Structure formats: C-alpha cells, structure tokens
Structure 1
C-alpha cells in the first residue's frame, strides 16, 4: 500500500543443550522481527534429529496458532524466518525456512539477502540434475551446500566451500540434526547477531529479537564468519573474513527497528543524527517539525533538536490495517493513505510544517501524505528526506531492481517537489548518510545512491524460466 522499500527478511535460530519449548521462543522472536517481512513465515524444530516444520503465507500470529505451535512440539534446536519477496516469486512455495532431505541427513536453511549470481548457479545445478521447487536464492544456496556436502567431512565445511561460489548478500541460519550454524557474507550486507539466554545460544537478524526473549546480546556475527554451535560449545570459522565489510546503510535509515543495536550503534540514535544533519544541510523557517510514522519519527526528533523548531505529532497511524487490506478500485486506492494515516489538525493547522520521511521511491505516497497535511490546514509544507535520492538498483536484498521505479531518475529535486506538492524539498547528502551511525564497526554500502557497489553487480538480470511460469500461473 505504501511507496516504501520492502524490509528484507528476518532470520532466527536457537540452540539448547536440553529439550525445551524452542518453537515458542522462535515464535516470539519472529514477532519481534515481523517488520522485516510480512508476506510469509515459518519455523522448523529439531527434536533429536527429527525435523518438524510449518510455514505459510501470512503474519506470524496468523500462521502460528496455538494448535500449530503445539504440533511443532519441543526440541533442542529451532530456526525461524519472516519473508518479503525481494528475489523469487511471491508464492507460498517460497516461504522459509527450507527443509532439505539428502543422503547425509536433513538440513534447514533460513536466508536474508540476495545473491547476484543465483541465476548462473541455478542453471549449472539444473544442468547437473537438480530439480528446484522454489524460485528463491535460498534453494540455490541449499543445493550448492548439498553438492559440497557429498565431498565434505562436515556441514560447516560444506558451507565454507559454498561461500567461495555464492556472491552477494546472505545472512544465514542453518540447522542440521546436531548443529546450529550462522554465517554472513564477506561484505556483511545484512545484519546478524548472537545472543545468550542461560545455556541457550541464539542468532537473530536484529538485537530486538534477543531483547524480546530476555536474552543477552553477545556480539554481531562478523562479515564472512561462520559460527557453529553444537554439544561441544561455540566455535568460529573465519576463512572468509576480510575486514569491516560494507553494511547496507538503509538498515539504519529505515529497515531495522529503532530499538535494535547493529554493528555497535543504536538505530534510534542513527536516525536522530540523520535528522540533525538534515537540519544543518536544509534549514527552513517553520513552526513545527513532524515525522511520517514510523521511521520518520526519530529523524524528525533529531531535526527539531538541532533546529530549535518544536517537535509535534503530525499523524496518527491506524495500527489495525494489516497486510490483507486491499484496494480493488482506483478510488479506494486513492483513499489508502487516508485510511492508514490521519493528520492531526491541531498540530499543523495554519502552521509552517517541516515533514520528515526516510525516502521517496516513486513519489505517489509522498504526494498523498502532503495532501493530508494541506487538507488539515497546513500553511506550508517543507519536506526533508533522511537519505539521498535513490538513483540506482539494489542487488543485495531490497526490491529496487530497476531505475524505472525511481522518481529521482526521472525528475530533478525541484521537479519532485512540485510533483508531490511541497514548498521545498531537501535530501540528506551522501557524505552525511555515511556518518549517521557514528562509530559503528563497519563501512557502508551506498550503491543505491551513487552506483558504486562493494562487489560487482550482475551484468544482466536473468529471469528464471520457472519463475516466469509461476508468474504466468498467478495472473
């Protein structure tokens, strides 16, 4: 419904030396990671080598009823996943985690990210006899690992060899009958952290999932690192570690939850810093600063503190409009933003308003939000964006796969301002967006802003034949 980027995916894993209710712990963790994927979700439980799994389209509480959780039962290892379809068609078969049964036993894989060479690897695997059941990159990773597993002494050795072959972004949580394994790609594009709860070891896309369970945050998994947990303890393989890597800066701008700490820095603080930088770069005389819920709120607070302009609550968000809300006619689509958001007239009427949001992708929703403020009586609307303009595709896990979708590739800043109906428009500079996370323990990928990618992007986007068939079937 909104003109926003899709929030990647979320992964979680838990290892307990003893049999316990790991399914319920995974359920609560996925609830905390729901913002990262609202299309499908799944949980797989390992009970002494017996894998029970359930996954489906829908939100976590829709898919995992009390009866479903009871059927998953208890175990000592579990893996969970919430998904958006950045790569692979949006159908139920692509829900994760994937459960793979092969000659050396079961393997469960949950993946956040996007491979840049998935199509080439898939073609190679298919020519070797592999039969794919999904259109996701995750199955390519799983099949490549399965192939390597036949010549390897352990599953972690198979993963280590697989990482020489796969390119792009991947944060992985993998379960075998005896082990829980976590890994990040050498650039560390996507977040993955480790926690501890008593004797339990946990891995999650964000620290907010650990907080939900009352677990202690231990550290981030390093870029290129493989962490293995089994009955002998925790050990690390750093064959692919190359240094600080290039973390996706948009995790701090928008994707991550504000209460998470990533790469040693608070997401909430990063967004406030972005707002403060905006106030320095694009000052304006105004009466009130407001943010677009939810990711624009922290940046708006930062802008207000730096500028001295009072902060106000400009919108009330309807929390009960879920993913099933649809607009079957054009007229109803026009009302979508009004149903989701309502402007607070008492805050903006007869006021010069500074409106803070995290991004403008296509511009359609921004225009409707501005109209809400005009209708509520705002005298002036000055929009400030806490990231630079999107002018390039992302190949590492977001759904910007073409410049055709990006308004900044078609219009100048002044033209965009006129198109969305604001009195002025200002974007955060590339220099400052790299500084919003202060002393974070990483460098950043900003390829969607400047076209300079940490790894070579694919020369062409290959449309998978199976995905095309699925797309045709779904029409």
Structure 2
C-alpha cells in the first residue's frame, strides 16, 4: 500500500495475458506493478494448451518468483495474482490463482473482491458433498463452475456468476481460453490492454505502462470476455448492471499513474485536495502530505490555498510492511518505524497535514504527536475524503462499525482524540466533484457506501459480524 500503515487494506490484484511467447515473464512484471494491492502472497499459472502449471507462495513477488521457477512454467498464456488476505485468509492455501485439475480439464482462477454470500454458498456446497481446501471466496466460485451442468466453460462461468453477489474482478484460465468478468456493479477496476497480437488484462493500467502494452478499454460491469487464439469476444452475463466503482480506488488504493474509467488517479487526488482547500479556512505556514497516497492531494491543497507545500514527513521504505501485523501494539510501532518528521521543515510552523482517510485513528494520532514533538506549533489535519462511518463488504478489510473511528465519534471528538488543532473532512459532494462524477447516491457512478451507508447491493446476513447484525436490526 502507498500509506499502508493506516490499517486500511485492499484485497488483491489480478493480471492475465493470452498469446504472447513471454507470457510468464510479462505476468511477473505485471504483478510487480500491482504489488501495492497485496503483499501477503503471489502466484502465476501458465498453460501451453496442453496442461496448466502454477507457482505460488507467501510474501512479495520477488520473494516468490525467481529465474528458475519462472522458466518451469509453460506456454504463451498466463494469469497472476497478488494477495492481501485479511485476518481469516492467510496461509499458502489461500494464495491465488487457485489451480484445479479434473478429468474434464483444468482451470485456474484468480479474483479481486469479496463475495458477500460466500458463506451461505459454501454451506450449501458442503451439504452437497463439496470439500474445501481454503477459506477463499474464489474456491467457492470454482466449485460452482465445476458443478455446473453446462458444457462450454463460458456458460459454466455465467451460471456460477448468476449465483454469487458482491464485488469481483475475475480471471479464469483453461487450456483453451482466458475468461475475464467484472461484477454487475463494477466495484473493482479491471482493464484490457494489448501487446502486438496478444491481449492482457490488469486490475490497474499502470501495469500496461511497464510491460509496453497499449490500453484498449475498461471491462464493463456485468461483462464476460473470452480471449483465445481466435481473438477477443464479449457478451453480458447480467442484464441488471450499474457503475459503482469503489471511491477508495481514487482516494487511496490505486497507483497515481493508473487510470480508472478514463480518470487519472493523480489528477483525481490533486483535485480532491483542491476542493478540500475550498471547503476549509485555515491559516498555516506549511502544507505536508502523509506519504504516499496523500501527496497528490496535499499538492492540490497547497496550490489552491497558496500555502507552501513541503516534505514534512519522510517514509522509510526499507521497513517491513507492518500493516499486516494483527495487533494494535505492533501497528502503532509500525507508524513510528515507517514515518519520520522533518524537523527543520515543521519546527515553529503551523502545519496542515493532509491525509486521505482516517480509519481507526491510531495513525493520525501518532503522526500529529510526532509533528508536535518535532516542534510544530499547530497541526491542522485535513482529510481528502469524507468520514468513513460504515463498513465495507466488497473487499476492503474494514468489516465492522467498531473498527471505524468516525462511526462512534463526532468530528470534534475525533479531533480531540488525535490531538490535532483542527480536523476537517472533505464532503461527499466535494469528493464526487473532484473525481469528476455527476449526480449523487446510486446515480453517481461510484460506491460511496463507507461514507454514506448506501450499499449498491443487498447485504447478506452471513457478511455481518454479531455487532453488525445487531446494528442492522436497530
């Protein structure tokens, strides 16, 4: 993650390519570009048209792959995955792509997102005799595909997708074809590129820049695409579709050099800072952003207010990725290890600290304290997104109100808790304006559920923790 110390984590990144002699190497580089989307595990499955073979392991892309094991993967077709697993999805068994062999052929499956009715479907499948080897939603989808009565793989996939609900950007590889699909609400990003005659697919367009691919288009909500030796073929698998791209992709998750639905992430974040600056009135001496995902917003804020932008916080890039540690104590220690204030920049200054979000508040509190210990006379915290009051069930690792500071406290209370001189959040309307969306609520083209509580899909009981179930009854 760019600002991975804050405790907000996205699920995964997906990459695939069909018809290139260097498919495995290209997939390896594609996963490097998507490393920010998951650091717990990585995998690649490739095929030469006769069989599927995969390599997967826990850790970063460089930890899992080397020249020798990549050379062992066959063929001109491959899919890859980088994983962040959450507390209940760790272990090698959950690293994707998941690879399945049967007498009727093999398939490998990788996805980014979360199936909100997965537990219910898993229970039904187990009652019918299925045996699961992982706790991944992806394995549920694989069982649904293999149990389908249809003959063609695309029809099996369409049948399976008709039974699942939630967010998913899916890549499926067989000996004959690469199939990709995006959920009917388009909650996760997924794009198509091309290298010569070969097609590729990626969770973010930044991967295309690295591998020299030309961007073709975004995958549409509810669209299923088949890529094989004959070319690319598209058809809808759902007639009830709408665009509800996750707002946090623009605010936090995606790389600044990626484009989502024609909107550049750096530009969107810079605009978030500009609109935020128009919504506040602060006298200060210097503006600084929390590395890395808040830098663009801080620059926009500084340009609009005329307050000089300075590098007031330095990120130590050689410390382990502490955000995956489960305990709050280790998470707090990670903040101290990963960020350092630049004393000569903030000493004796009134500082505007721009950050992209506040989740639990631990990180913000620690950074405010560090800035004041470094001599800042005032620290005004400006957040380039609205207060995150509601849990996400679509693939972000914040699944209960109890984890969200803004759910239980007013802005003034939050300001006191983190020790800031002032605290300001961007409005929902301001966020949508900055990103370039029109409309509000379900018609804005974005999912704003974590800010507004308006979910684009029905939330199923098995997605809720006990506390959430109680909340849903009230």
TM-score tier, shorter chain, comes to: over 0.9
- Verify: 1:23 aligned to 2:24, yes or no: yes
CA contact (8 A) 1:386 1:428 kept: yes
| Alignment correspondent of 1:230 | 228
CA contact (8 A) 1:275 1:301 kept: yes
Instruction: Name the SS for the 1:295 alignment partner.
Output: coil
Instruction: Name the SS for the 1:26 alignment partner.
Output: helix
- Verify: 1:120 aligned to 2:130, yes or no: no
Instruction: Name the SS for the 1:105 alignment partner.
Output: coil
| Alignment correspondent of 1:11 | 14
In the TM superposition, what whole-angstrom CA distance separates every residue of 1:278-309 from its partner, at most 9, and x where no partner exists?
A: 10111201111110000110000111111111
In the TM superposition, what whole-angstrom CA distance separates every residue of 1:173-211 from its partner, at most 9, and x where no partner exists?
A: 110111011100000000000000011100000000111
Q: Report the alpha carbon displacement of residue 102 of structure 1 after superposing the two structures with TM.
A: 2.6
- Check 1:462–1:139 CA distance in 2 against 1; reply closer, same or farther (3 A cut): farther
- Verify: 1:207 aligned to 2:205, yes or no: yes
Q: Tell me the distance in 2 between the aligned counterparts of 1:146 and 1:138.
A: 12
CA contact (8 A) 1:222 1:241 kept: no
TM-score normalized by the length of structure 1: 0.92
In the TM superposition, what whole-angstrom CA distance separates every residue of 1:220-267 from its partner, at most 9, and x where no partner exists?
A: 000000110111111101241545421111100001001000011001
Q: Report the alpha carbon displacement of residue 388 of structure 1 after superposing the two structures with TM.
A: 1.0
Match of 1:446 among 439, 442, 448: 448
| Alignment correspondent of 1:45 | 46
Match of 1:461 among 449, 460, 463: 463
- Verify: 1:376 aligned to 2:379, yes or no: no
Count of matched residue positions in the alignment of Structure 1 and Structure 2: 458
Q: Tell me the distance in 2 between the aligned counterparts of 1:460 and 1:65.
A: 40
Instruction: Name the SS for the 2:129 alignment partner.
Output: coil
CA contact (8 A) 1:275 1:298 kept: yes
Q: Report the alpha carbon displacement of residue 89 of structure 1 after superposing the two structures with TM.
A: 2.2
- Verify: 1:220 aligned to 2:218, yes or no: yes
Instruction: Name the SS for the 2:318 alignment partner.
Output: coil
Q: Report the alpha carbon displacement of residue 103 of structure 1 after superposing the two structures with TM.
A: 3.5
- Verify: 1:422 aligned to 2:420, yes or no: yes
Q: Tell me the distance in 1 between the aligned counterparts of 2:108 and 2:396.
A: 23
- Check 1:227–1:328 CA distance in 2 against 1; reply closer, same or farther (3 A cut): closer
- Check 1:86–1:444 CA distance in 2 against 1; reply closer, same or farther (3 A cut): farther
CA contact (8 A) 1:172 1:182 kept: yes
In structure 1, stretches of 5+ residues that fail to align are 464-475
In the TM superposition, what whole-angstrom CA distance separates every residue of 1:329-363 from its partner, at most 9, and x where no partner exists?
A: 99876543232111111211111111000111111
Q: Tell me the distance in 2 between the aligned counterparts of 1:329 and 1:87.
A: 11
In the TM superposition, what whole-angstrom CA distance separates every residue of 1:143-196 from its partner, at most 9, and x where no partner exists?
A: 111111xx2131111111112111000100110111011100000000000000
Instruction: Name the SS for the 2:131 alignment partner.
Output: coil
In structure 2, stretches of 5+ residues that fail to align are 466-474
Q: Tell me the distance in 1 between the aligned counterparts of 2:317 and 2:134.
A: 33
Matches within 5 A, 1:250-289: 250-289=248-287
- Check 1:315–1:225 CA distance in 2 against 1; reply closer, same or farther (3 A cut): same
Q: Tell me the distance in 1 between the aligned counterparts of 2:421 and 2:292.
A: 23
Q: Report the alpha carbon displacement of residue 326 of structure 1 after superposing the two structures with TM.
A: 9.2
Q: Report the alpha carbon displacement of residue 86 of structure 1 after superposing the two structures with TM.
A: 4.3
Q: Report the alpha carbon displacement of residue 88 of structure 1 after superposing the two structures with TM.
A: 4.4
| Alignment correspondent of 1:179 | 177
| Alignment correspondent of 2:402 | 404
Instruction: Name the SS for the 1:182 alignment partner.
Output: strand
Q: Report the alpha carbon displacement of residue 322 of structure 1 after superposing the two structures with TM.
A: 2.3
Q: Tell me the distance in 1 between the aligned counterparts of 2:191 and 2:295.
A: 25
